[in-house]
């Protein structure tokens, strides 16, 4: 009996959480993050963003990617050769297109982010192909007011190479 009650409460909680997200996110953000959708290439907010800053999970606010790892992959989506911290992104097999891809989700919110491919540039050879709709960009100049000061060191111009955290 208690087990059934706990399961019911979890289901109701998920429904309320989902309804809350529908009120907070735009339709494309909801479709991408909750239904593993994909936004159109070249018609999304960050595919061509060249400003210094970090990209956070649109739902949880957890830092995911840095502009120092971003590059132009000519795909029309934001592409990164690395993450800020690979332990905050989970990887699952995705066979929706009839072949294996690696789906990326945020561990903190379970939001669908995009996919990981092995055709990226050095030094990792990886391409994190990410939907803008799953991200919020925070400019370097806004790190202090967004309580992200600890990430300023990623942009320290006195370092000879950017910080690189290889995926596990």
Q: For 132-161, what is the mean pLDDT? A: 88
The predicted structure's pLDDT at residue 167: 46
State the burial class of residue 102 (Cβ atoms within 10 Å of its Cβ: 0-12, 13-18, 19+): middle
Give the bridge partners for 55, in sequence order: 65, 137
- Looking at domain 2-155, does it have CATH number 3.40.50.2300? no
The predicted structure's pLDDT at residue 95: 78
Query: Is a pLDDT exceeding 50 seen at residue 3?
Result: no
The predicted structure's pLDDT at residue 9: 37
The predicted structure's pLDDT at residue 16: 41
The predicted structure's pLDDT at residue 18: 64
Q: For 102-131, what is the mean pLDDT? A: 97
* Residue 156: band (very low, low, confident or very high) from pLDDT cuts 50, 70, 90: confident
What residue ranges do the domains of the chain occupy? 2-155
Look at residues 157, 3, 152, 126 and name the one whose alpha carbon lies nearest to residue 63. Answer: 152
Q: What is the pLDDT of residues 41-52, one digit of tens each?
A: 999 999 999 999
* Residue 84: band (very low, low, confident or very high) from pLDDT cuts 50, 70, 90: very high
- CA distance linking residue 50 with residue 102, whole number of Å: 26
> What are the catalytic residues?
129
Q: Which residues, in sequence order, are CB contacts of 70 under 8 Å at separation 6+? A: 49, 78, 79, 80
* Residue 94: band (very low, low, confident or very high) from pLDDT cuts 50, 70, 90: confident
By the 8 A CB rule, do 156 and 149 touch? no
The predicted structure's pLDDT at residue 96: 73
Query: Is a pLDDT exceeding 90 seen at residue 119?
Result: yes
* Residue 130: band (very low, low, confident or very high) from pLDDT cuts 50, 70, 90: very high
């Amino acid at each position: 009996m208690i087990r059934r009650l706990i399961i019911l409460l979890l289901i109701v909680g998920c429904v309320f959480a989902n309804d809350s997200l529908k009120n907070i996110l735009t339709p494309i953000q909801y479709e991408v993050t909750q239904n593993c959708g994909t936004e159109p290439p070249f018609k999304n907010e960050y595919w061509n963003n060249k400003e210094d800053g970090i990209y956070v999970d649109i739902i949880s606010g957890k830092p995911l990617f840095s502009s120092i790892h971003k590059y132009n992959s000519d795909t029309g989506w934001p592409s990164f050769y690395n993450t800020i911290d690979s332990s905050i992104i989970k990887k699952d097999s995705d066979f929706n297109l009839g072949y294996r891809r690696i789906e990326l989700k945020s561990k903190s919110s379970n939001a669908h982010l995009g996919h990981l491919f092995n055709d990226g540039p050095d030094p990792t050879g990886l391409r994190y192909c990410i939907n803008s709709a799953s991200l919020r960009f925070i400019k370097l100049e806004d790190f202090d007011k967004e309580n992200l000061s600890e990430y300023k060191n990623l942009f320290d111009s006195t370092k000879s190479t950017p910080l690189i955290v290889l995926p596990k």
